[in-house]
Amino acid sequence: MPLKVVVIGGVAAGPKVAAKIMRLNPEAEVTVLEKGRFLSYAGCGLPYYVSGAVQEPKDLMSTPIGVVRDVAFFQKVKNVKVLNETEALEIDRAQKRVRARRHGEAADFWLAFDKLVLATGASPVRLPFPNAHLENIFTLHGVQDAEGIKALVSQAQAREVVVIGGGLIGVETAEALVQCGCRVTLVETLPQVLRVLDWEMARLVERHLESHGVRVLTRTQVTAFEGTGRVSGVLTSQGRLPADLVILGIGVRPQVDLARAAGLQIGSTGALQVNDRMQTSDPDIYAAGDCVESRDLVTGQPCFVPLGSTANKQGRVAAINICGGDDRFPGVLGSTVCKVFDFCVARTGLTEWAARQSGFQAVTVIVPDADRAHYMPGAKPIMLKLVVDASSRKLLGAQAVGPGQGDKRMDVAAMAITAGMTVDQLSKVDLCYAPPYSPALDNIITAANVARNKLDGQVVGITPMEVKQRLDAKEDFVFLDVRSPAEHQQERLPGSILIPLGALRTRLSELPKDREIITFCKISLRGYEAAKILQGAGYERVRVMDGGAATWPFEKLTS
């Protein structure tokens, strides 16, 4: 008898499972149930369809050669039976069958299975506020949402837009709508956008959003929607915001109602609990994608990180095991990248905050530099942050913000964390070098060396946020700028004094030895050199501000 597999969910993990099973076992009978109309679409591409970067919605559902992945495609090419607009209603584990119903039909039907796969995904969180169901309040969770938003924008019916939620979807959607000519306000409850980053890195993104016309309101609560028939305003703790269109980007929840009703184990994150073979608590039922929880590779703890890349990898593992193989999904690092206008924003592993919450003694460095040889046309800055465990010297996490190529540095960091590498090992990795592609010492190698210097006591650092707090508290220290007079004239940091690095040795008498001195320059390379000069001259209380003026997340003074 052929292996009978029923897959519930036809967007990311589900189609991956089905296709891989048919490659491994061409005699299998695989049926996919999808309650929506569209199949196997790239949900992460929806903001780019809204902005016009992707011209047609079918492009998000096509193979690399342009063939649309519809019901006929799966039947003819994959030999997979797909029932779209069909909802799974019940799992009968004892009889190994699923009850389902086609949209618009009154009668249910049952499908028998030998193995069942749950790829039910996640659903967007909605706000339970007055008038939450007014017209023109959207999530951006599917092709139909994107088409509705695009129609309003193209008809010039959405000049004032409020995006609620400063996560990945919220930030990407804000960019898309600005590019469509909308006036966008981004509202976030937390003290920062993009909680996948630490505060000072997220602040750089906020300022970049603001420079492109996005009004960013953090620490702001939404309380209600206004309008008759369609939305006209959003009431917040900061006042009323006019709105022709509202986008809810406040996160997603795993869709586990079907699994819970069937008695399957739900994990501590609220998502389905699976083992590393992607089996649920029922060994004949597998699960993959945004409905399942993963394991954090650094902490070993359960986590919920819904990503299309993870869904596809998990789907492949599930399929191999269903067909008698032995494959394992080890976990995730939460590796994430997004485009914010011309900024690359990326992270992997633990943030500084998460590392400290997990009990690590975290040491951090912030290192800005050009993404290739500085003399090459097209060289662009990136700000890297590394999070390192002081006791083991292992890399725990990394973040990148800026117009330079941060993604490849985060990929290197992800490999280093997965391999359990120390910053000492990372600093000697044999990465490719040519001036059009990187500096002689790649950005991540330089950052690893700075971390080594900190761990070895060669430099004592202080974050820009700590400096700002000490300035605000009017603490007694010298904030020493060692840039050139021209750089200082162009922009300077509050409370700083200027002694250019080249003049420092001859002007040491101007600096008191009984006060702490915090040095900086544009990226704090010269700040580090200044600190070594001061230490060599007998100054004992010297620190270097991480990242220099380039990563100062607060207001600067200009002439």
* Active-site annotation, residues: 44
What is the helix (H) or strand (E) element at residue 4, kind and residue range? Answer: strand 4-8
**Alpha-carbon gap, residue 398 to 410, rounded angstroms:** 7
CB-based contacts of 222: which residues, under 8 Å, 6+ apart? 127, 129, 164, 187, 189, 234, 235, 236
The partner residues of 231 in beta bridges, in order of sequence, read 227
Q: What kind and span of H or E run contains 468?
A: helix 464-472
For 492, the 3-state DSSP assignment is strand
CB neighbour burial string for 417-448, b if at least 16 within 10 angstroms, e if fewer:
bbeebbbeebbeeebeeeeeebbeebbbbbbb
CB 40 within 8 A of CB 12: yes
Q: If DSSP codes are grouped into helix, strand and coil, which group holds residue 496?
A: strand
Amino acid at 507: R
* Exposure on the CB side of residue 445, measured as CA atoms within 13 A: 14
Is residue 228 within a helix (H) or strand (E), and if so which, with residue range? strand 222-228
Q: Measured between alpha carbons, how far is 467 from 552 in angstroms, rounded to an integer?
A: 10
**Which residues sit opposite 368 in a β-bridge?**
383
Residue 167 · residue 195 · CB < 8 Å: yes
Amino acid, res. 208: H
Could you tell me the two tokens for 53? Answer: 């970067």
Query: Residue 142 carries which DSSP code?
Result: S
CA distance 102 to 104: 6
31, two tokens:
């049926």
DSSP 379-430: --EEEEEEEEETTT-BEEEEEEEESS--HHHHHHHHHHHHTT-BHHHHTT--
Three-state DSSP class for 83? strand
CA 199 distance to own-chain centroid: 14
176 — phi, psi (to 5°)? -60, -40
- Phi/psi at 474 (5° precision): 55, 40
